[in-house]
Structure 1
């Protein structure tokens, strides 16, 4: 997302990815830069829903301390984790 001028929607998403935990900020900002554009519409909607989760829950999901019972969320978390490692 940094290679192109940001739209208002991009700016809102980047703002929503700012969290109270530095670790989450780093994970989510890195994903926006490296992997967000690979998401389809459904995955983007899931990410939007995930951003409503409490910080600790997101942190546990991204670290693998817990796995979502929602298969689609679990796949998205896996995709995010893989994207930021690449």
Structure 2
């Protein structure tokens, strides 16, 4: 299992990659997501721990599912049937 800091860093890189794919600047994206651009920078660099609500707004602004932002690791290995497991199966 990866450390929490590594998880935050990978989460931030995933957000950055999706944001760059949209072509939005930090300012544009922050306004669209309702997150201050400075906070977006801290999240993208793994220096902030965003709330679930913030992640939801970020995912919505990017047009992706929250699961698309979460780091993939040993906990998300494909199942035998080839389908991605539900990352929330621990809570079901």
Give TM-score scaled by structure 1 length.
0.37
TM-score relative to the length of structure 2: 0.35
**Quick check: which one's helix share is greater?**
1
Bigger Rg over Cα: 2
